[in-house]
Amino acid sequence: MAAEPAVAVDLGALFSLADVEAAALARIPEMAREYLIGGAGDEITLRANREAFDRVRLLPRVLRDVSRIDTRVGLLGRTHALPLLLAPTAYHGLFHAGAESETARGAERAGVTLVVSTVATTALDEVARASAAPKWFQIYCQTDRAHTLERMRLAEASGYEAFVLTVDTPVLGARNREKRTAFHLPEPLRMANFPASLGSYTPNQHHDPHGIYNPFLDPSLGWKDVDWMREHSNLPLLLKGVLAPEDARLAVEHGAAGVIVSNHGGRNLDTVPATLEALPGIARAVGGRVPLLLDGGIRRGTDVIKALALGADAVLIGRPFVCGLALAGARGVERVVEILSLELQMAMALLGAPNLDEIGPQVLWREG
């Protein structure tokens, strides 16, 4: 069921993430394609994530020495070559036979960190062995805390460097595209990191098909559980799915090592703000005390610039690298990152900002 190109793809002829997406979506089977591109409800937030970047204008400065461009950033004690990570995304086995292991190889080739999803089709330790790329583990905390702790211990033993707790999904949103295509995991794909007895993360395999709750998710998750996770591991814990400044303040108070501004790619509650719109308020609330990351809508190097200028330390991409994976495996993932990296460097040079420290509100055009 994975998308496999029938003929070799000339990645060098793909010059933008839009090129990669168009080429990939032409090859991905309908059910997987609708899962990948879909959002919640009327997909207003899904579109807003992209549109928010388009509204922001940049202000270049001239006659500055940009003969050397430095895109490095420090996060959680490691220097990253780019302010860019691969976001946790589900079911890579739907898009390439090599699944998450192939993504990990692409992350290594591209020199970026991969955040592996709980809803992966490859086991944590297997993904870890696939490449030397740095890896973080995204967690959906289960009602069975013993099982969650078991996954945490496996991640630690496998060399994962941080945990990312998704906090915005007590239930799933109204994912109409998934229901219309009766989305499911084909055999022999399965969620490799949790037992089948927990059911599925997908909306069409609930134990209660007429209710809102999913046995895979824990609707009782609270700040006490953030404390519990911190007590049971020394690895940094980031919280993903924050849109309210007050929640960002609470995250810092509860010891989070980082905050990820995210609306789940527009896949949960529709009509919430775009992540870029929410970012400035959260940046003020966090006040530089912990790293601030953002996902949702990144499609250009200039988008990375805009997120950094409004307060983010780094960004994550999801759908774009999955398109690269579907198109050409590890090489496709690498090509997506390469395109963004080249665009980021060009934008920095044209703005007169040779390093990331010089990207702030001053690079944004303000009327008047």
Which of the residues are catalytic?
A: 264
CB atoms within 10 A of CB 37: 16
Rounded Cα–Cα distance for residues 195 and 74 (Å) = 36
With residue 9 as reference, give the H or E element that holds it. Answer: none
Question: What is the residue-wise DSSP string for 107-143?
Answer: HHHHT-EEEE-TT-SS-HHHHHHH--S-EEEEE---S
Among 14, 64, 118, 70, smallest CA distance to 337 is for 14
With residue 37 as reference, give the H or E element that holds it. Answer: helix 30-37
Strands (E), the chain: 73-75, 78-80, 84-86, 113-116, 135-139, 163-166, 237-242, 258-261, 292-295, 314-317
- Residue 299's φ and ψ, nearest 5 degrees, are -135, -10
